[in-house]
Amino acid sequence: EVQLVESGGGLVTPGGSLRLSCAASGFTFNTYTMNWVRQAPGKGLEWVSSISPGSNYIYYADSMKGRFTISRDNAKNSLYLQMSSLRAEDTAVYYCARDYQAGVVAFDFWGQGTLVTVSS
Amino acid sequence: DIQMTQSPSSLSASVGDRVTITCQASQDISNYLNWYQQKPGKAPKLLMYDASNLETGVPSRFSGSGSGKHFTFTITGLQPEDIATYYCQQYDNLPYTFGQGTKLEIK
């Protein structure tokens, strides 16, 4: 059974940093592109970042470039999102999501999400 | 960025109804369009990919069509468990973008 379990969310002050983790199981992690998608309270979905299986291709949404860093450890079946210079508008539930398959960018499995609150 | 515009933003329908949601892209995205269902407090669930392909295990009352800039998502025979918010998502260009969502309620 595919499982994605996020952790690391919490309350952080503006300008602060936080590192999110996503533990994957039930599939061959090192063969899938992985993503972070976020959802502000009461709002829609926003793609944040993606990373290819070998970390060769990394992409970010413009508003996260330079502040967020996606990474993965295939030996540990884990995905990470290092967030810095956090702003109030980064407050959201952050989901890790698996890419569907080669050639199709659809998110077929999602974690339960971890809430990040940026507030003083 | 490609803008995805869904309509309506909210919709009320009765059990058994046929429900249609539309999604319009700001530019041609071929068929690189997916649909998700999100129930309150839950993660989104992939329903359809590439505009018209039903994800494994998804009931056949869900269907999708379209290409280019105009897409539709249809539920034929609405069930109580279909109450959710539905999102379209394009992957023709980075950044991948979602529609604003359509909240579906039961009358």
User: How many of the other CB atoms lie within 10 Å of CB of B98?
Assistant: 21
Q: Each residue of B93-106: pLDDT tens digit?
A: 999 999 999 999 99
CB contact under 8 A, B46 and A44: no
Segment (H or E) for A10:
strand A10-12
A positions 37-96 inside 8 Å of B (CB): 37, 44-47, 50, 59-62, 95
CB contact under 8 A, B49 and A104: yes
Q: What number is the average pLDDT over the span B28-48?
A: 97
CB contact under 8 A, A46 and B46: no
Look at residue A61 and tell me whether its pLDDT is greater than 90. Answer: yes
**Contacting residues of A for B32, CB less than 8 Å apart:** 105
- What is the structure's pLDDT at A45? 98
Look at residue B20 and tell me whether its pLDDT is greater than 80. Answer: yes
Look at residue A100 and tell me whether its pLDDT is greater than 90. Answer: no
Partner residue facing A45 (CB), from B44, B49, B50: B44
Partner residue facing A47 (CB), from B97, B99, B101: B97
- What is the structure's pLDDT at B23? 98
With a pLDDT cut of 70, the percent of chain B lying above it is 100
Q: Each residue of A2-35: pLDDT tens digit?
A: 999 999 999 999 999 999 999 999 999 999 999 9
In whole angstroms, give the CA distance from residue B6 to residue B8. 6
Partner residue facing A46 (CB), from B36, B94, B98: B98
Which is it for strands A92-101 and A114-118: parallel, antiparallel or unpaired?
Answer: antiparallel
Q: How confident is the model at residue A52 (pLDDT cuts 50, 70, 90)?
A: very high
Q: What number is the average pLDDT over the span B20-34?
A: 98
Q: Each residue of B46-85: pLDDT tens digit?
A: 999 999 999 999 999 999 999 999 999 999 999 999 999 9
Please give the distance of CA B21 from its chain centroid, rounded to a whole number: 7
